[in-house]
Amino acid sequence: MTDVKSGNNPLFLREEELRQSIELLFFAYRDFTAEPDQILKDYNFGRAHHRVIHFVGRNEGMTVSELLDILRITKQSLNRVLSSLITRGFIEQRTGIEDRRQRCLYLTEEGRKLEQKLSRVQRDLVARAFREAGGDAVAGYRKVLSGLINDTNRDKILDGILKP
Amino acid sequence: MTDVKSGNNPLFLREEELRQSIELLFFAYRDFTAEPDQILKDYNFGRAHHRVIHFVGRNEGMTVSELLDILRITKQSLNRVLSSLITRGFIEQRTGIEDRRQRCLYLTEEGRKLEQKLSRVQRDLVARAFREAGGDAVAGYRKVLSGLINDTNRDKILDGILKP
DNA sequence: ATTTTACGTCAGTCATGTTGACATATATTT
DNA sequence: AAATATATGTCAACATGACTGACGTAAAAT
């Protein structure tokens, strides 16, 4: 406690608090993805497939470019994952009605089942954490995480999450 | 609003809230790691190197197995990253004093500089989000993320984060 | 008619994870 | 003292998911 860095130095306390909060995010994300990863193994899918299934499930009919914009990966990266999901019957593509260049993405029956399965374990995990933390804490969690999203696209994302 | 799934069904609202919260975690994590990733490129390092630098910086003198336990990767995976950090002079190993089998890990001067550089951008990001969200929200954020950590090792991690 | 956009694809590379087998030094147990 | 267990390192092969760069095709926009 007589350490120069600790003691009563408020700047140190602040830095320490920030570092702790950064680690919390790492550990929470690590454990939050562990269960789905296990399930995906049974299908020979990976986390990338999960993300596609998740976002297509949340935005049925979204286009490939919209998906790319969310995932922030190249179309070549997406393509491997997406085409395996299509080939194996978890996702379906339909030509856009207004713009026939677009490929609109939908979950198949099978895809929806897997989406449910994956979503279930994550929702249960979050639900438990929410229940234990209480309503005010949940509001704080959402507020802080929203603030962590890059402000250049925060509004777009938050609009998307809190559906139009 | 007359949709069967929405309307006033409280179970649906709960599910929707949970799904939103899951996405928030994804987006926050994505944007939270973007800046450090850019910096790491200049050093020809990746996110894996960042994690090692971060945790060694936070736990100077930690052993290889302790690090493995935190990262949850195989020693072979760690080795590639760790040995490049050692070769290039960012991390130093010292034989354990009590147990001479152990290799205790320390940041070098260079390592500490890089750690600062990476930590700085993340702390600034978190600090801004905290400032905008307010103290109560921060408490909630920490409470919820703590709850998301797998309970089999939550105590150990939280003890570690809130240093002994 | 030309250009731009949305999407697909081939080819090669890199970072980071995995499994499995084996080696070496040190500590612990018998 | 000998046998066993532990901490670490290392070799080899492989999978996933990211990247860049180049090129192609259909449809929309100019």
A77-86 pLDDT tens trace: 999 999 999 9
And the tokens for A21?
A: 């909060």
> Got the DSSP string for B28-44?
HHHHHHHHHHHHHHTTT
Q: pLDDT over 70 for what percent of chain B?
A: 91
Nearest to A15 among B72, B123, B148 (CB): B123
pLDDT at B160 over 90: no
Nearest to B23 among A21, A130, A161 (CB): A161
The CATH architecture that domain A39-133 belongs to is Orthogonal Bundle (1.10)
Q: What is the mean pLDDT of chain B?
A: 92
User: How does residue A164 score in pLDDT terms, banded at 50, 70 and 90?
Assistant: very low
pLDDT at B3 over 60: no
- Chain B residues with CB under 8 Å of A148 CB are 28, 31-32, 125-126, 129
Rounded average pLDDT over B61-90? 97
Question: d(Cα A146, Cα A155) in Å, to the nearest integer?
Answer: 9
* Top-confidence residue, A13 or B82: B82
| pLDDT score of B140 | 97
> Got the DSSP string for A28-83?
HHHHHHHHHHHHHHTTT--HHHHHHHHHHHHSTTEEHHHHHHHHT--HHHHHHHHH
B101-132 pLDDT tens trace: 999 999 999 999 999 999 999 999 999 999 99
User: How does residue A155 score in pLDDT terms, banded at 50, 70 and 90?
Assistant: confident
pLDDT at A27 over 70: yes
Rounded average pLDDT over A87-115? 97
Q: pLDDT over 90 for what percent of chain B?
A: 82
CA-derived radius of gyration, chain B: 20
Rounded average pLDDT over A48-76? 97
Least Cα separation, residue A72 to chain B (angstroms): 9
| pLDDT score of A11 | 72
Contact between B143 and A133 using a beta-carbon 8 Å cutoff: yes
B99: amino acid identity, one letter: D
User: How does residue B164 score in pLDDT terms, banded at 50, 70 and 90?
Assistant: very low
| pLDDT score of A8 | 61
Q: Is B41-133 CATH 1.10.10.10?
A: yes
Mutation for A interface: B5, B21, B52, most A CBs within 10 A = B21
Nucleotide nearest to A81 in CA–C1' terms: D17
| pLDDT score of B5 | 52
pLDDT at A48 over 80: yes
